[in-house]
Amino acid sequence: MRFDDQRIILVENLRKKGINDEKVLAAFSNEERDLFVPEEFKRLSYLDQALNIGEGQTISQPFIVAYMMQVLELNDNDLVLEIGTGSGYQTALISSLVKEVYTVERIKSLAWKARKILKKIEKKNIYFKIGDGSKGWIDAYPICEEFDKIIVSAGSPGIPEPLISQLKIGGKMIIPSGELDKQVLNLITKKEDGYQKEVLSECLFVPLIGKSGWNNL
C-alpha cells in the first residue's frame, strides 16, 4: 500500500484511540513520517510504534506524540520549546501548528540529520540548538526568554527547574518523569506562585541525559 494511504489509516487509528483535536490530526495527515525514518525501517513508518533512529534513540510512537500535542492545546501564536529533536518528525508536526519552535538535541549527528530534512521540506519557523536541553535554552536566538509551551521527549528523574523558569505564567509543559524503565506523563501549568502538576498516564521514553535530568548516565 502507498505511504499516502498508510498515512490516512494511521490518522484514522489516532482518532479511534482518542485523538480528537482536528488541528493535530491534520498535522499528522500532512507530515510524511517516512522522511524521518531510516531506510531499513521505512516500510514500518506508518505503524503506530516507536522506531530506531540510530545512536540508541527512537522516533516516538505517533499516538504519544499526538497525545502530547493535544494536551498542550497548541495555538498559532505559540512559541514552543522542544527538548529532544530526535528525528525531527515531532518538530515538523508542531511547527505546522504554532508560530515558532525552538528545538534542542544533545546528539550532534541526529540534530544535523533532522535539520537537513526540515530544511529540505522548507520548514521556516524552526530554530535549532545542539546541547543539554535539561537546562532549557537560555539566550535563545531569535531572542525568547519564556515559552508558551514546552514539550520534553525524553524521561527525566524529576521536573527540571530551568524548564519551569523558562515557561510563561499560564504556559504548559508536558514531560515524562520517573524511573529509567517506567515513567508517567506530567502536564505542568505554570502559576504566579509555582506550578500545578497533573499526572496523565504511564509511559516509557529514552532518558533525558543532562545536568537537570539523568546527570550520571
Contacts of 76 by beta carbon, 8 Å cutoff, 6+ apart: 97, 98, 99
45 near ligand SAM, rule: CB under 6 A: no
Annotated active-site residue 212? The verdict is: no
8 A C-beta contact, residue 88 and residue 118: yes
Cβ-based nearer residue to ligand SAM, 104 or 118: 104
Q: Single out the residue of 94, 104, 164, 174 in contact with ligand SAM (rule: CB under 6 A).
A: 104
60 near ligand SAM, rule: CB under 6 A: yes
Rounded to a whole number of angstroms, the minimum distance from the CB of residue 73 to ligand SAM is 19
Give residue for cell 506524540. 65
Q: Single out the residue of 45, 87, 96, 177 in contact with ligand SAM (rule: CB under 6 A).
A: 87
The C-alpha torsion from 193 through 199 and 204 to 207, rounded to 10°, is: 10
Rounded to a whole number of angstroms, the minimum distance from the CB of residue 63 to ligand SAM is 12
| CA-based radius of gyration for the chain | 16
90 near ligand SAM, rule: CB under 6 A: yes
Question: Which one from 45, 60, 96, 153 is the annotated catalytic residue?
Answer: 60
Q: Single out the residue of 136, 171, 178, 210 in contact with ligand SAM (rule: CB under 6 A).
A: 210
What are the φ/ψ torsions at residue 100 (nearest 5 degrees)?
A: -145, 145
Locate all alpha helices (DSSP H) within 39-121, ordered by sequence: 62-72, 89-95, 108-120
Distance CA 109, CA 119 (A): 15
* Positions that interact with ligand SAM (CB under 6 A): 57-60, 83-84, 86-87, 89-90, 104-107, 110, 132-134, 153-154, 205-206, 208-210, 213
